[in-house]
Amino acid sequence: MGKQYKKLTRSERHSIQILAKLTLETGEGRGESYICNTINISTSGALVETGVVIAAGSLLKYSCCIPGITNPLNITGEVVRGERLENFSDCKAKVDSSLHRFGIMFLDMDEDGRQALESYFMVNSGKRPSQDAKDRALE
- The helix/strand/coil state of 132 is helix
Query: Which residue spans within 4-72 are E strands per DSSP?
Result: 14-26, 29-41, 45-54, 59-64
pLDDT tens digits, one per residue of 50-95: 988 888 899 999 999 988 888 899 999 999 998 543 444 455 566 5
**Whether pLDDT at 28 is above 80:** no
Give the CATH H-level superfamily of domain 14-109.
predicted glycosyltransferase like domains (2.40.10.220)
